[in-house]
Structure 1
Amino acid sequence: MNAHAEIHHDMEGPEPDLHLDTLFGDCRDAMLLRIQTMKTSWPLCNEAEQAEIINGIELAARNIVRAAVREVTRHEFPHAVVTLGEVKIKGEKGIEGKITCANIEHNRNVLGDHVGTMVQLVMIDSEDFMGEQGPAEADPDQKDWLRDADEEDDDGDEPLGLPSPEDFD
């Protein structure tokens, strides 16, 4: 959640059901769902409401990226999410690395089935895909356009309204 937002409920929504063969449409549909459930249109929201919408969309986008990366890493090859710890460069002898991961059946099977075999280590982290071309920004709250119009027409001498009866004598 953004540090500036004081929203205490979960805005991420349900995790999207993503599949690699329909990834584009799945992402589109997840974002459309957020837009379709908005209670009003963007221009009618004040700045705080727009900031809340931005926060919710950012959380949903992070969820979509994580799900997409998870689907890519799940596709066609066994995988285990690991933390790369120590790496030793041993010259011509090669490179030796230490990895750690959760001791769960899936990881034991994937890693145990590949001991001594040639495997490909792919450095992928969903955080690598969290970039943006620029931040989303809420529109500043608009002034009361009716009051502003009255102030523009006002010459400052008299309050606006009906003329005084004395003006007709």
Structure 2
Amino acid sequence: MNARADFEHDMEGQEPEMQLDTLFGDCRDAMLQRIQTMKTSWPLCTEAEQAEIINGLELAAKSIVRAAVREVTRHEFDHAVVSLGEVKIKGEKGIEAKITCANIEHNRTVLGEHVGSMVQIVMIDSDDFMGERTPAEPEPDQGDWLNGADDDDEGPRGLPSPSDFE
């Protein structure tokens, strides 16, 4: 990325609009809105620079979502991340399920302390929150009018040639 992409965050404290089912896209859009207020304008970045910014923001948004899901599962109740295996529906006798998880101290403690207890299983996967309203797309390059002349050496694009004033 070039030095023109030196950005300033002048939106400090503004709360972005968030919805649970579009949390990934909402986080990305909130960050992208900040980038679009850079000291240099978004259109002055090349398509490759815009794509690089979008990629970095998407990685950051995924991290934010995963961290948010992790924090929700940590809040006020013990948890162990498990894989749901075999499930047997036994009519009026109930449902029997098999779970598996890593054999680590935390899981042994959490599961061991709750044998025979009434527990709540919450089906949560960070992938459920990776939706977006619309994809972020870099804008196509507008040519080389900022960086040099056209192929026919008329000067930078969008500006008249000095010979036009003679």
TM-score tier after normalising by the smaller chain length: 0.5 to 0.7
The one-letter code of the counterpart of 1:72 is V
C-alpha distance after superposition, 1:13-72 (max 9, x if no partner):
xxxxxxxxxxx69x79x949x84xx79542221001100100000000000000001110
Aligned length: 128
The one-letter code of the counterpart of 1:59 is L
Distance in 1 between residues matched to 2:123 and 2:70, nearest whole Å: 13
SS at match of 1:86: strand
SS at match of 2:157: helix
Structure 2 match to 1:161: 163
Unmatched segments (≥5 aa) in structure 1 = 1-23, 154-159, 164-169
Greater relative contact order, per chain length (Cα 8 Å cut-off, separation 6+): 2
Distance in 2 between residues matched to 1:162 and 1:111, nearest whole Å: 81
Structure 2 match to 1:118: 118
The one-letter code of the counterpart of 2:157 is R
Greater Cα radius of gyration, structure 1 or 2? 1
Question: Residue 157 of structure 2: which of 134, 147, 163 is its match?
Answer: 147
Are 1:81 and 2:81 matched, yes or no? yes
SS at match of 1:106: helix
Give the 5 Å matches for 1:1-169.
31=31, 35=35, 41-145=41-145, 146-147=156-157, 161=163
RMSD (Å), alpha carbons: 3.2
Q: TM-score, normalized by length of structure 1?
A: 0.65
Identity among equivalent positions (%) equals 78
